[in-house]
Amino acid sequence: MTAVKLDGLAVAKQIKLELAQQVTALKARGITPGLGTLLVGDDPGSLSYVAGKHRDCAEVGVNSIRIDLPASATEADVRKAIQELNSAKEVTGYIVQLPLPAGMDSNRLLELIEPDKDADGLHPINLGRLVMNVSGEITSPLPCTPSGIVELLRRSDIETKGKEVAVIGRGLTVGRPLGLLMSRKGVDATVTTLHSASKDIADHVRRADIVVAALGQPHFVKPEWIKPGAAVLDVGISRTGAGLVGDVHPAVADVAGYLSPNPGGVGPMTRAMLVSNVVRAVS
């Protein structure tokens, strides 16, 4: 048995085609969505990530607005840049690229983002809206990776209603908000969030119909943990001597029914959902 690949690249491409059509319709009404990015310093990973976001924007017709500050920038400089992005009419959504330089209070700075322009969907107000909204339509920005995971499952015709989901990792960007999204009415999964203090992780995973690994430990999820036929999504990634390695052991593909690889799975979905947040802000 070889798992069916959950091809995030292909699904993200389809989403971007749909977004391009929406952007064309918006422009016909005199509205042009714009993504802003604030990058401080010259971290190679951050530079690559921000460049990818602007390429995505070019593909769908969204304007790109960049503010790049040197590593020597002060917290006051970052505050000023955030204020500029908040007030810029051409910016319908933006991100502050992390990590910020050592010594800066990232959480306090991120809270300065105008919630309706929060392209990452991680502002406390937007997370609070997600907590409070169990069944209705969500119009506020959603966390990009969790919403990308739900969308990848939906478009791959993987049933979530009544299914057991094991999420390994309780981080703010994936694990914690994913549980909220997966348990909403309409998705209707039963979610167990596992972390470093959880006991019998393997036993929890063996019961799961859907497994999401988002902890950043190379090949943490073993094939003997997986229920035959389960859907497994490899989200966490680590840099090793052998290159970039995901959280899921490659042999899981011999047991799982579906596998979202890393890279090429959830990552492209995250980027597509960020652009979606920017477009939805003015739709």
- 93: which residues sit within 8 A by CB, 6+ positions away? 33, 34, 35, 36, 117, 118, 119, 141, 274, 277, 278, 281
The verdict on whether 53 is a catalytic residue reads: yes
The verdict on whether 188 is a catalytic residue reads: no
* Single-letter amino acid code for the residue at 251: A
Active-site annotation holder among 56, 117, 118, 120: 120
Active-site annotation holder among 53, 117, 163, 227: 53
Is the separation of the CB atoms in 65 and 88 below 8 Å?
yes
The verdict on whether 83 is a catalytic residue reads: no
Instruction: Name the token pair of 10.
Output: 């292909």
Instruction: Name the token pair of 229.
Output: 């036929």
Active-site annotation holder among 16, 56, 97, 117: 97
DSSP per-residue codes, 95-121: EEPSPPPTTS-HHHHHTTS-GGGBTTS
Centre a 10 Å sphere on the Cβ of residue 238 and count the other Cβ atoms it contains. 16
* Single-letter amino acid code for the residue at 121: G
What is the side-by-side order of every strand in the sheet holding 63-69?
A: 63-69, 34-40, 93-96
Query: Catalytic site residues?
Result: 53, 97, 120
